[in-house]
Amino acid sequence: MAKWMSVAQVKEKIKESSAEEVTASYLEVIGKSKINGYVTVSDKALEQAKKIDEEGHRGPLAGVPIAIKDNISVVGLPNSCGSKILEGYVPPFNAHVIEKLLAAGAVVLGKTNMDEFAMGSSTETSHFGPTANPWDLERVPGGSSGGSAAVVAAGEAPFALGSDTGGSVRCPAAFCGVVGFKPTYGAVSRYGVVAYANSLEQVGPLANNVEDTAVLMDVIGGYDRRDSTSIDSKTEYQKALVDDVKGLKIGVPQEFFGEGIHPDVEKAVWDAIHKCESLGATWEEVSMPNIKYALASYYIIAMSEASSNLARFDGTRYGFRENAENWHAMVSKTRAEGFGAEVKRRILLGTYALSAGYHDKYYLKALKVRTLVKQDFDKALSKVDLLMAPTMPNPAFKIGEKIEDPLTLYLSDVNTCPINLAGVPSISVPCGFTDGLPIGLQIMGKPFDESTVLRAAYTFEQNTDYHTKRPPEVA
Amino acid sequence: MITKEDVEHIGWLARIEINEQETVEYMEKLNSVLEYFGQIDELQTEDVTPTYHVAEIYNVFREDMVEECLPQETVLANTENKQDGAFRVPKIG
């Protein structure tokens, strides 16, 4: 069986053989993995596939295997969020996106590695050790959905789900040479996804191509009353797959090509913009002056929300507990032992930013800056249909290279986190290589205009071959 | 700038035990991040309204309906620390 298959090819294979055989072949590839992409491989996957064979392949994803980030709840599989504090925890309910996937007939292969509680851009802060980038095993796959991106790039799943709070789907997609999509805030239910920063995050697909991304969006998107920020946009994602960008106006924000950008990244992204121009689109430079303040605003808001969200991990109801003489000591010791260094730093900074005397200076100020960043997007997108820029200013870095200095690592999110502040949709698609490492083109659109974003991404993909390249080290 | 006492105080607020050596490490790393955050002070924001989230929906209500919920045993299944259908924790003080 071919190692890398599109979802359409997987479905063809299931027709020729069976869902059980297809799942077995993915499990075999996973068994030989060199990348530590999975935290848990499901012991129920084969059984699930067999049942789908018996029931006659009903549903748009009947028998198609998928990998799930380890912060999205699946009944019966541990949900660790890459943390010791959730040791032994098995969710008793499915996330909304999992209910949808199971109803569509998908087979969950397992749960993928991630930065602890999705806090990171390298998948190095996981309690289960780092995941390797399939293109260079000494490099990070990006993060925080590094496991999901890496297993897709390595042919260990046809596609996967991640979550994107400040770039956590798009960053690993760019670093691993796959497609990663963050939908508009509200387009996909967050019910059953462990919260890091609620006002910023969305669940999003990681796939080998734009078509598979749209296939997955058609299954997971839509209204869910259990998420009070859920919005029914009624988007038909696969209908957006039109190979035509004639007449589309592209904005190129200079602020996304800032100091420290790798020259090959800059060139690859401009080549992509010119490619779209040759296919009938037009482009113009746009100015977004508040983008340079987005990173600070993003981190203050994310840490503040995290300090509140992660208060629930206290050793009382599930996971790891450190025993002590009284409740305060039990909780304080449990959290000291159960959380890793980066998670503790973010909780402490978030607590500080919300504490009496500092709330207005940090948290409230960051929320006001968020308004200005949002206005930059509104203004730019009132003149053009899309924005194009690099997803990441640099290719994947070495494991261990940035982990000691939190600020250096935060700075790598400079082009991805503004999108979460504004809530707009954004996709990363492969657009080139530098020294054998993939480069990602980021395409951003208006809120709930996923169709135009997918159309541009699809057209670019149909007219280039970057998405067909496979990492030689895991071939 | 965060002082050693600040680190101890926020450690207590966040219920994360921090030892003497960690206090100094946190102080250094947190201060370098806070210094970076300081750049937003450059912006004039007196007349700007804060954005808590971008979804243009407010006050989502629903009917108060009786629905099926998870059985008590299922909810308690993730811990050894339970007694008489409740979670068991050490005394507060």
Pick the catalytic residue: A69, A111, A182, A374? A69
Q: Is B58 on the interface with A (CB under 8 A)?
A: no
Q: Are A241 and A458 in contact (CB under 8 A)?
A: yes
**Average pLDDT score over residue span A1-22:** 95
**pLDDT of amino acid A474:** 86
- B-chain CB neighbours of A371 within 8 Å are 48-51
Q: What is the CATH number of the domain that holds B20?
A: 1.10.20.60
What residue ranges do the domains of chain A occupy? 7-251+382-474
Annotated catalytic residue A69: yes
Averaged confidence pLDDT in chain B: 94
**pLDDT of amino acid A439:** 98
Q: Is B60 on the interface with A (CB under 8 A)?
A: yes
* A473 pLDDT more than 90: no
Q: In whole angstroms, give the CA distance from residue B1 to residue A113.
A: 35
Averaged confidence pLDDT in chain A: 97
- In this complex, do A89 and B78 lie within 8 Å of one another by their Cβ atoms? yes
Chain B: residue nearest A298 by CA?
B37
Q: Are A87 and A39 in contact (CB under 8 A)?
A: no
* A60 pLDDT more than 90: yes
Q: Out of A390-394, A420-424, B67-71, pick the least confident.
A: B67-71
- In this complex, do A328 and B15 lie within 8 Å of one another by their Cβ atoms? yes
Annotated catalytic residue A122: no
- B-chain CB neighbours of A339 within 8 Å are 16
- B-chain CB neighbours of A422 within 8 Å are 54
Annotated catalytic residue A144: yes
**Average pLDDT score over residue span A251-262:** 96
- In this complex, do A347 and B89 lie within 8 Å of one another by their Cβ atoms? no
- In this complex, do B14 and A335 lie within 8 Å of one another by their Cβ atoms? yes
Q: Hey, which CATH number is domain A7-251+382-474, 3.20.20.70, 3.90.1300.10, 3.40.190.10, 3.30.1130.10?
A: 3.90.1300.10
Pick the catalytic residue: A18, A126, A168, A307? A168
> How many percent of chain A have pLDDT more than 70?
100
Q: Are A297 and A68 in contact (CB under 8 A)?
A: no
Chain A: residue nearest B56 by CA?
A229
Eight-state DSSP code of residue A117? G
Q: Is residue B53 part of a domain?
A: no
- In this complex, do B50 and A368 lie within 8 Å of one another by their Cβ atoms? yes
Please state the ipTM of this predicted complex. 0.96
Q: Is residue B62 part of a domain?
A: no
- In this complex, do A374 and B54 lie within 8 Å of one another by their Cβ atoms? yes
Q: Is B20 on the interface with A (CB under 8 A)?
A: no
Q: How many angstroms away from the CA of A64 is the closest CA of chain B? A: 29
| Best A368, A372, A377, A413 residue to mutate vs chain B (most B CBs within 10 Å) | A368
**pLDDT of amino acid A278:** 98
Residue showing tokens 């970057």: A466
Task: Please tell me whether residue B87 adopts helix, strand or coil conformation.
Answer: strand
- In this complex, do B30 and A345 lie within 8 Å of one another by their Cβ atoms? yes
* A1 pLDDT more than 80: no
Q: Is residue B24 part of a domain?
A: yes
- A-chain CB neighbours of B73 within 8 Å are none
Q: Is B4 on the interface with A (CB under 8 A)?
A: no
pLDDT in tens, A321-356: 999 999 999 999 999 999 999 999 999 999 999 999
pLDDT in tens, A126-167: 999 999 999 999 999 999 999 999 999 999 999 999 999 999
**pLDDT of amino acid A404:** 87
- In this complex, do A364 and B50 lie within 8 Å of one another by their Cβ atoms? yes
Residue B55: pLDDT band (50, 70, 90) is: confident
* A235 pLDDT more than 90: yes
Best CA proximity match to A70, nearest among A95, A107, A35, A103: A95
For B3, the domain range is 1-42
Per the structure, how many domains does chain B have? 1
**pLDDT of amino acid A20:** 98
Q: What is the largest CA-CA distance in chain A?
A: 71
Q: How far apart are the first and last CA of chain A?
A: 13
Chain A: residue nearest B11 by CA?
A348
What stretches of A46-169 adopt beta strand conformation (E)?
Answer: 65-69, 107-112, 159-164
Q: Are A305 and A199 in contact (CB under 8 A)?
A: yes
Residue A114: pLDDT band (50, 70, 90) is: very high
Q: Is B75 on the interface with A (CB under 8 A)?
A: yes
pLDDT in tens, A64-111: 999 999 999 999 999 999 999 999 999 999 999 999 999 999 999 999
**Residues with Cβ < 8 Å from A166, sequence gap 6 or more?**
A197, A200, A298, A299, A302, A413, A416, A417, A420
**Residues with Cβ < 8 Å from A248, sequence gap 6 or more?**
A276, A280, A281, A282, A385, A386, A452, A455, A456
**pLDDT of amino acid B42:** 94
What stretches of A121-216 adopt beta strand conformation (E)?
Answer: 159-164, 179-182, 202-207
pLDDT in tens, A348-357: 999 999 999 9
Q: Is residue B5 part of a domain?
A: yes
Beta-strand relationship, A249-253 and A202-207 = unpaired
Percent composition of chain A: helix, strand, coil (DSSP 3-state, to 5): 45, 15, 40
Percent composition of chain B: helix, strand, coil (DSSP 3-state, to 5): 40, 5, 55
Q: In whole angstroms, give the CA distance from residue A468 to residue A430.
A: 9
**pLDDT of amino acid A369:** 98
Distances (CA, A) of A283 to A271, A377, A383, A388, A428: 12, 16, 11, 9, 18
**pLDDT of amino acid B77:** 96
pLDDT in tens, A392-411: 999 999 999 999 888 999 99
**Average pLDDT score over residue span B44-63:** 91
Residue B57: pLDDT band (50, 70, 90) is: confident
- In this complex, do A365 and B36 lie within 8 Å of one another by their Cβ atoms? no
Q: Is B8 on the interface with A (CB under 8 A)?
A: no
**pLDDT of amino acid A475:** 78
pLDDT in tens, B15-42: 999 999 999 999 999 999 999 999 999 9
Query: Which among B32, B51, B70 has the least Cβ separation from residue A371?
Result: B51
**Residues with Cβ < 8 Å from A408, sequence gap 6 or more?**
A402
Best CA proximity match to A172, nearest among A151, A144, A131: A144
